[in-house]
């Protein structure tokens, strides 16, 4: 029994492909050929449905027709590539022969490749496999987080901090210090550890530097400044106060 469970874990789950194509016969043809190659597929027949399904399904790749009944495929591509949870998903466009301008715009928006209709199912499969190989070879970028704690909100991507919805202007070092404390909330961080993790343990600095920056940070955070607790003889920790 244990061996069977281990064997299942070793099995590679099929790659998921979302097909956004309004012509059902073409969508079925693509789906059939991908399933024969051991892919898992789902199909949508308009842009809005495709955008919703992309968020639910979280596919490894999207096959996107540029001619959709309810919205332009380029707009679908733009929305996917601007969505923080979808932007890393590769897109293969399906285009008509005379749509060179659309192909160029699609590639500029972030699409990875295109196939012109009518297409060979074999060529489509090979292009999908090539895109996925390239995608897997890319180093994974660490996803930017939004950290929330009591009245405090820290947005890494925008490099912004706010307290009760009001923007707080922080220096890069103060932002880094606050982020470290938030990521380690409830745990005591010694002054030496903070020097090493936030400042990089620069030889000319001493622990008084940490105290000065903590004091300044507390003042800027206003009512959330009390979240930074001093542990006498040890260091600091982030706690939420009533």
The residues spanned by each domain of the chain are: 14-137, 146-238
What is the pLDDT at residue 139?
A: 57
Residue 144: per-residue pLDDT: 60
Question: Which H, E and C letters describe 19-48, residue by residue?
Answer: EECCCHHHHHHHHHHHHHCCCEEEEECCHH
What pLDDT shows up at residue 9? 41
**Radius of gyration for the alpha carbons in the chain, expressed in angstroms and rounded:** 25
**197: which DSSP letter?**
I
pLDDT at position 41 is 98
Give yes or no for a contact between 61 and 131, defined as CB atoms under 8 angstroms apart. Answer: yes
pLDDT at 102: 83
Range list of H helices, the chain: 2-10, 24-36, 47-57, 73-82, 100-109, 121-137, 172-183, 191-194, 207-221
146-238 CATH fold: Arc Repressor Mutant, subunit A (1.10.10)
- What pLDDT sits at residue 10? 44
For residue 92, which of 68, 118, 70, 60 has the smallest C-alpha distance? Answer: 60
Q: How is the beta sheet containing 152-155 ordered, strand by strand? A: 146-149, 152-155, 160-163, 166-168
DSSP-derived 3-state class of residue 116: strand
Going residue by residue through the chain (242 aa), what tens digit of pLDDT does each one get? 434 444 444 456 789 999 999 999 999 999 999 999 999 999 999 999 999 999 999 999 999 999 999 999 999 999 998 887 898 899 999 998 777 788 888 888 889 899 999 999 999 999 999 999 988 766 555 556 789 999 999 998 788 899 998 999 988 889 999 999 999 999 999 999 998 888 875 545 678 889 999 999 999 999 999 999 999 989 999 997 65
CATH number of 14-137: 3.40.50.2300
């Amino acid at each position: 029994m244990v061996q069977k469970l281990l064997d299942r874990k070793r099995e590679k789950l099929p790659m998921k492909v979302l097909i956004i194509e309004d012509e059902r016969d073409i969508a079925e043809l693509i789906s059939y050929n991908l399933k024969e190659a051991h892919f898992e597929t789902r199909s949508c027949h308009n842009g809005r449905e495709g955008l919703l399904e992309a968020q639910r399904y979280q596919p490894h790749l999207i096959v996107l027709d540029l001619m959709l009944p309810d919205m332009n495929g380029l707009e679908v591509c733009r929305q996917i590539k601007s969505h923080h949870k979808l932007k890393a998903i590769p897109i293969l466009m399906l285009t008509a022969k005379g749509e060179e301008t659309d192909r160029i715009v699609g590639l500029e928006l972030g699409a990875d490749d295109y196939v012109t209709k009518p297409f060979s199912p074999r060529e489509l499969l090979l292009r999908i496999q090539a895109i996925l190989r390239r995608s897997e070879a890319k180093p994974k970028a660490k996803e930017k987080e939004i950290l929330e704690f009591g009245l405090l909100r820290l947005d890494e991507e925008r490099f912004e901090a706010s307290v009760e919805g009001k923007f707080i202007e922080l220096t890069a070092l103060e932002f880094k210090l606050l982020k470290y404390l938030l990521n380690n909330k409830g745990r005591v961080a010694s002054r030496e550890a903070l020097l090493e993790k936030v400042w990089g343990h620069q030889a000319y600095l001493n622990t008084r530097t940490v105290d000065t920056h903590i004091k300044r940070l507390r003042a800027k955070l206003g009512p959330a400044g009390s979240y930074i607790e001093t542990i006498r003889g040890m260091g600091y920790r982030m706690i939420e106060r009533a």
